[in-house]
Structure 1
Amino acid sequence: MDEQFLHYIWKYQKFDQNKLKLTEGQSLMVYYPGNHNQDSGPDFEEARIKIDAIEWAGQVEIHINSSDWNHHNHQHDPAYENVILHVVWNYDSEIHLNDEAIPTLELKSIIDPGLIEKYQKHIRSNQEILCSSQLPGVSPLTIRGMLDRVLVERLEEKASRILNDLQYRKNDWEEATYRALSANFGFSTNKEAFIRLTELLPFSKLKKAFQNEKSTEALLFGQAGFLNEAKDEYQDSLKSEFQFLQKKFQLPESMVKPQWKFGKLRPANFPTVRLAQLATTLHNTPKLFTILTQTESIKELKEHLRPPLSPYWRAHYDFGKERERTTRQVGKSSFENILINTVAPLLAAYSKYTADSIFMDRAVELLESLPAENNRITRKWGEIDVNTKTAIDSQAFIQLFKSYCQKRKCLQCNIGVEILNR
């Protein structure tokens, strides 16, 4: 038995509501089970019940065993002083609140065993997407409603990370944008290394070199630890430039090359290539935050986020290693990835910061205008004939998979609830 299932039982009143009795014999009538609280505090708020002849309004707390109340230290938490009903699977101990026994409803004798069996069979499936075989029978409105919900959740989660970082940057939006964009250029493999680089090379110092593309490259590659040797003349010139700028800006000790991952990456995704692309982008778009939040045209964003690479990096993928064919700019899929994972969250964060919904609307419109992502998770949905057409779809299905399917939170998902309610 788990509390998630008990929350579902109480929320949807999945038991015979006639002649309900509390553990001490009082009659119970439920007018409204309450609003499900997903934050800290009691599990349901604003519930309305009647015990014998007296009506009560307040909070409901749910546990597997009644003794869990004390094990969770609720007896010392003022947030639980307005609990009017304790709903438990197993009543193993009388619990007191303000020197009086808390009214308690035990569930194990009033729930249909068939429902328990159905839930356990569903949750113990070895499929990654538990509802995969039953999804075709789910109402399209239910699916669409859940996708809209998780899309908002995903945007708000990403926005919150930017806003949390913003607090540490003294509300410097340019600094926060630089950090978010840099992390994106690392993608999944080198994300942490790029974050570390932005700690050692803050935007406030890097921007002083933006007028000169070579100086921008020298600072990024030098602080990243790629200029401790010189395999060719260009690397040697960057090294000399970095040594001068490192002293001028009083930069801390740089990273070391082993902190960056090259293994199993195609040359186009090498961290050296990504650093060169970042350097070119920053050089061409010094006022990064302003451009990304005020530019509504994808064509204009492309001009800022896909500028031509410097001549050296058009022909190289690492120092001293030439490409088989030249390349001019950030690839199309990488550009779309930046729009999805940096620009849209940035707009959502600024929307929350300014309390202006227009930026959230623009974030959604941006995702709607982009094609769906093609990655491991979206391919899993494709295997069960779920099609993703735009980035709105792919972002929603990624969130659904990571936050609900993988965590087996079927009873907090509208799709899972509909399946279990059949």
Structure 2
Amino acid sequence: MNEDLLQFIWSMQLLETNALFTSDNEKIEILQAGTLNTNAGPDFLHAKIKIGDTIWAGHIEIHIKASDWKLHAHQTDPAFNNVILHVVLMDDGYDNGIPVLELNGKIPGRLLNKYAAMMQTAAWIPCEKHINQFPEIKWKSWLQRLTAERLEQKALHIEERLHYNKNDWEETCYQLIARSFGAPINSDAMEQVANALPLKTILRHKNDPTQVEALIFGTAGFLESSYKELYPHKLQSEYRFLKNKFELIAPSLQWKFSRLRPASFPTIRLSQLAALICKTDALFDKLILQNDVKKMESVFAIHPGEYWKEHYHFKKAAKVSVSGLGKSTIQIILMNTVAPIKYLYGLKNGKQEMIDDAIALLEKLKPEKNSIIANWAQLGFTAMNAAESQAMIQLKKEYCDNRNCLHCHVGYFVLGMQE
């Protein structure tokens, strides 16, 4: 038993009896259970109860034991001055002058058994046996909430980076795009390259693709080996000059090639990043301040230099030409990077239309394909677009995996079902 479960039971009034009495044996009638408070202060606000012949209006506090009132120091907090009822699982005798209602013995056993089963099950999601009874209209509404929640969660991480970059949206956008180019397993390394190599530095040489590649591959640590071919030698020479000119410090990186298709090799991705920067010097304007998906996708219609049409690596010739980004990769970048930045920009600048545009962008993109989405489909819940697939990922990771059922609309419904 925990306070979250007690709050759920109180909010739904899932008690076995209407014959309720205080610890002083005064009859209680619950006229209004109150509104759950998600901020500091009492657990339920603006409740109305009748004790004996007197009707009281005020707040309600929930605890496991009556003495938790003192443990939490509520007696010194003015926010609790208007509490009219102290609801506890067990009354251990602590008297704070407020009527106490003990719930021990008044909670339905079937509810406790169902909750325990959901907490202990080895099923993919706790409510797997009951979720098909959740109304579709409520499912769609919950997915919309989860989409916004996931965007907000991502926006918080981006805001930290934006603060570090002194509110430079363009630099922040560049760093996040670079990170997205490293998916699925080289994201951290790509991000470190972008952090060590400011966009402003690269843009000073954007009209010379060779110098841009020299800066990027040098910072990434790929120009430290000995090469026989002319092009890598040229990059090494350019990088030595540019490194001294800009006093660049290359981070120590571990690049991963194993189990990747050549199209996802970090060398290919770095060459594509170089091509993107040479092509577009205003990523933020052309991606974040843009609403046309086709135009956003066209930003990533990039073609690296001739060398990378014939190589996967500096020492490895390509059997099949790989140059541009695939459509699915572009969609993932729009979904995981562009939409969250757009959402944050709307939040920070009070532009609701930008927030709506971020969600609309996800609704226009295809759902991603991964094991989480596949498992939801097996349960009968198919994502129709990227907004829904992102919502389903949020639901699984933040609620199902954490057994956060009491704060989930599905879990709330399942636990409150009458059987």
Please indicate, yes or no, whether the TM-score normalized by the shorter chain is above 0.5: yes
1:280 aligns with 2:281: no
Q: Which amino acid aligns with 1:344?
A: A
* Counterpart position of 1:176: 172
The separation in 1 between residues aligned to 2:74 and 2:119, in whole angstroms, is: 29
Instruction: Report the equivalent of 1:333.
Output: 328
| In 1: Cα distance, 2:257 partner to 2:151 partner | 30
Superposition deviation, residue 83 in structure 1:
4.5
TM superposition shift of 1:233: 2.7
In the other structure, the counterpart of 1:57 is 58
Q: CA 1:30–1:168 in 2, change beyond 3 Å: closer, same or farther?
A: farther
Q: Which runs of 4+ in 1 moved over 6 A?
A: none
The change in CA–CA distance for 1:313 and 1:84 in structure 2 (over 3 A counts) is: farther
Cα pair 1:372 1:388 within 8 Å, conserved: yes
Deviation per residue, 1:99-136 (Å, 9 max, x gap): x4444332222111122112212332111222233222
Residue in structure 2 matching 1:352, options 347, 356, 359 = 347
Give the structure 1 partner of residue 86 of structure 2.
86
Once the two structures are superposed, residues 32-81 of structure 1 have per-residue CA deviations (whole angstroms, 9 ceiling, x without a partner) of 333334455543344444445252323x4333333444545556666655
- Aligned CA distance change for structure 1 residues 28 and 196 (closer, same or farther; 3 Å): farther
| 1:153 equivalenced with 2:149 (yes/no) | yes
Q: Residue 306 of structure 1 contacts residue 335 of structure 1 at CA under 8 Å; is this kept in 2?
A: no
**TM-score under structure 1 length normalisation:** 0.90
Deviation at 1:24, TM superposition (A): 4.0
Shift of 1:6: 1.5
Where does residue 416 of structure 2 map in the other structure? 421
Partner of 2:230: 233
Shift of 1:385: 2.6
Residues 300 and 330, structure 2, Cα contact 8 Å, conserved in 1 = yes
Q: Secondary structure at the match of 1:361?
A: helix
SS of residue paired to 1:403 = helix
Helix, strand or coil at the partner of 1:278: helix
| Equivalent residue letter for 1:109 | G
Q: Which moved more, 1:340-349 or 1:262-271?
A: 262-271
CA–CA distance in structure 2, aligned partners of residues 90 and 268 of structure 1: 62
- 1:8–1:325 CA distance, 2 compared to 1 (3 A): same
**Are the counterparts in 1 of residues 41 and 80 from structure 2 also a CA contact under 8 Å?**
yes
Please tell me whether the aligned partners of residues 301 and 325 of structure 2 are also in contact (alpha carbons under 8 angstroms).
yes
Q: 1:238 to 1:45 in 2, by over 3 A?
A: farther
| Paired residue type of 2:57 | W
- Partners of 2:2 and 2:340 in 1: CA distance: 34
1:289 aligned counterpart, secondary structure: helix
Query: How far is the alpha carbon of 1:304 from its aligned partner?
Result: 0.9
Matched, 1:210 2:206: yes
Hey, what does 1:109 align to over in structure 2?
105
- Once residues 261 and 62 of structure 2 are traced to their aligned partners in structure 1, the CA distance between those partners, rounded to angstroms, is 51
Of the structure 1 ranges 69-78 and 276-285, higher mean CA displacement relative to structure 2 is found in: 69-78
Residue pairs, 1:287-298, within 5 angstroms = 287-298=282-293
Greater CA deviation, 287-296 or 40-49? 40-49
AA matched with 2:111: L
Aligned length: 415
SS in 2 for 1:330: coil
How far the C-alpha of 1:242 sits from its partner, in A, is 1.6
20-29 or 318-327: which moved more? 20-29
Distance, in Å, in 2 between the alignment partners of 1:381 and 1:204 is 44
**Per-residue CA shift, 1:211-231, capped at 9, x if unaligned?**
322222222221122221133
Change (3 A) 1:267 1:162: same
CA 1:350–1:19 in structure 2 vs 1: closer, same or farther (change >3 Å)? same
Distance (whole Å) between structure 2 residues aligned to residue 69 and residue 260 of structure 1: 54
Q: Partners in 1 of 2:132 and 2:147 — Cα distance?
A: 21
Q: What is aligned with 1:368?
A: 363
Change (3 A) 1:113 1:287: same
Q: CA deviation at 1:86?
A: 3.3
**Pick from 114, 118, 135: which aligns with 2:114?**
118
CA-CA distance at 1:378 after TM superposition = 0.6
- The superposition leaves residues 193-212 of structure 1 with CA deviations (integer Å, 9 ceiling, x where unpaired) of 22322332233333323232
8 Å CA contact 1:85–1:104 kept in 2: the answer is yes
What is residue 391 of structure 1 aligned with on the other side?
A: 386
Separation of aligned partners in 1, 2:128 and 2:58? 40
Runs of 5+ consecutive residues of structure 1 not aligned to the other structure: none
* 1:49–1:56 CA contact under 8 A, matched in 2: yes
Indicate conservation of the 8 Å contact 1:348/1:359, yes or no: yes
Equivalent residue number for residue 189 of structure 2: 193
Name the CA shift for 1:6/1:321 in 2 (closer, same or farther; >3 Å): same
| 1:362 CA drift (Å) | 1.5
Q: Do the aligned partners of residues 102 and 218 (structure 1) sit closer, same or farther apart at CA in structure 2, a change above 3 Å counting?
A: farther
Query: Quick check: 31-40 or 353-362, which moved more?
Result: 31-40
After superposition, what is the alpha-carbon deviation per residue over 1:330-378, rounded to whole angstroms, capped at 9, x for unaligned? 1111101001011111111111112111112221221111111101211
What is residue 410 of structure 1 aligned with on the other side? 405
Residues 1:266 and 1:109: Cα distance change in structure 2 (over 3 Å): same
Match of 1:237, as an amino acid?
Answer: K
Q: CA separation in 1, counterparts of 2:32 and 2:152?
A: 30
Q: 2:133 aligned to 137, 145, 152, which one?
A: 137
Give the Å deviation of 1:137: 2.1
**Compared with structure 1, are the counterparts of its residues 342 and 40 closer, same or farther at alpha carbon in structure 2 (3 Å cutoff)?**
farther
Q: Distance in 2 between matches of 1:41 and 1:105?
A: 19
Task: Give the CA deviation at 1:316.
Answer: 1.9
1:246 counterpart = 2:247 = no
Cα offset for 1:270? 1.9
> Quick check: 1:226–1:256 contact (8 Å CA) kept in 2?
no
**Which segment is superposed worse, 202-211 or 217-226?**
202-211
Q: Choose the corresponding residue for 1:164, options 140, 160, 163.
A: 160
- Identify the residue that residue 382 of structure 1 maps to in structure 2: 377
C-alpha contact (below 8 Å) 2:406/2:412 kept by paired residues: yes
The answer (yes or no) to whether the contact 1:230–1:239 under 8 Å persists in 2 is no
